Amino acid sequence: MPELPEVEVVRRGLERHIVGASIDSVDILHPRAIRRHLPGAADLAGQLTGERIAGADRRGKYLWLVLEPSTVALVVHLGMSGQMLVQPPELPTEKHLRIRARLDSGLDLRFVDQRTFGGWALAPLVEVDGSLVPDSVAHIARDPLDPRFDLAATVKVVRGKHTEIKRVLLDQTVVSGIGNIYADEALWRAQIHGNRLTDRLTGPRIRAVLTAAQQVMREALTQGGTSFDALYVNVNGESGYFDRSLSAYGQEDRPCPRCGTAIRREKFMNRSSFSCPKCQPAPRRSPAR
Ligand SMILES: [Zn+2]
């Protein structure tokens, strides 16, 4: 699953290469890739044809193109293996090409997805808290890289919850875009165990973990995004390489870069959590849930 920095890399690529272009025609080559668009393939292709791509936007891991004149959003679900490729039309079609849009700029916008968990769907844009977002994204909170992310207000919301800090970091309605990898990295940096209860943490400690999430995602972004899946590449077909810089996530039994203690792996919400037993001592009492 791509995390926020990877999605932002894709967004930037789309902004650079296709914003301003108009869609001449759309071929939907696999019905699964448009299953979220309930009116079906002909409707999607018909609505997209003739539209101008006015912007490429993102909130958390949600990515969309703003279309004109209709002012609807083309929401792009990358799923596990989805790629948005901008290609010259004469380039042979990819084996897992699912949707191809021909642009008036002379390029193709291609959606390639081996497992086809992702896809395209149209959604009306609605105004939430001063920003236009697709209605399917209206319940998603701002992410830590959003220029209008309110750190102080988010600290307050987090402290108001009686649950484990990692659970709140993954709650997209509180703060979006933090997945398992960046949650573990942020908790490691702030030296907090993910099972600590939010209402037992001080405001400054919660602020520290949110700030750490911001920092680790910014660093990932400057390096082109993390990539754990060879299938996941950005809009230009280049893989990210931030995975070399991870301190905790996926580092089981390797030394903690801060103190040298072996990183431990624990189960959390049907997934794994990675942390340093010395820098991030587990809470003594068992978690609330
Ligand atoms: Zn340590």
- The DSSP H or E segment spanning 159 is helix 151-159
Predicted local distance difference test score (pLDDT) of residue 229: 42
Strands (E) in the chain, as ranges, are 23-28, 52-59, 62-68, 72-77, 82-87, 97-103, 108-113, 119-128, 131-134, 264-268, 271-275
- CA 252 – ligand 1 centroid, Å: 12
Which residue do the tokens 């700030």 mark?
211
Residues in the chain: 289
Predicted local distance difference test score (pLDDT) of residue 233: 47
What are the phi and psi torsion angles at 219 (to 5°)? -65, -40
Mean pLDDT of the chain: 90
Instruction: Return the closest-CA partner of residue 171 out of 19, 287, 60, 36.
Output: 60
Catalytic machinery residues: 2-3, 61, 271
Q: Please give the C-alpha separations between residue 168 and each of 88, 114, 142, 172, 210, in angstroms, as whole numbers.
A: 43, 32, 14, 8, 11
CA atoms within 13 A on the CB side of 116: 14
Distance from C-alpha of 109 to C-alpha of 86, rounded to nearest angstrom: 5
Which residue do the tokens 């402290």 mark?
159
- Enumerate the β-bridge partners of residue 164: 197
- Enumerate the β-bridge partners of residue 210: none
Phi-psi sector, 268: left (phi>0), alpha (psi -120 to 50), beta: beta
Distance from C-alpha of 184 to C-alpha of 166, rounded to nearest angstrom: 8
- CA 261 – ligand 1 centroid, Å: 5
Predicted local distance difference test score (pLDDT) of residue 136: 93
* CA 20 to chain CA centroid, nearest Å: 24
181 neighbors 226 (Cβ within 8 angstroms):
yes
pLDDT in tens, 106-140: 999 999 998 889 999 999 999 998 999 999 999 99
Binding residues: 96, 115, 161
Mean pLDDT by 10 residues, the chain (289 residues): 83 90 97 95 97 96 94 92 89 94 95 92 94 95 96 96 96 94 96 96 97 92 57 46 74 96 94 96 70
- The domains located in the chain, with CATH, are 4-137 (3.20.190.10), 151-275 (1.10.8.50)
* 1 burial via Cβ count (<10 Å: 0-12, 13-18, 19+): middle
- CA 198 – ligand 1 centroid, Å: 21
Predicted local distance difference test score (pLDDT) of residue 18: 93
- CA 195 – ligand 1 centroid, Å: 17
Binding residues for DNA: 96, 115, 161
Predicted local distance difference test score (pLDDT) of residue 109: 95
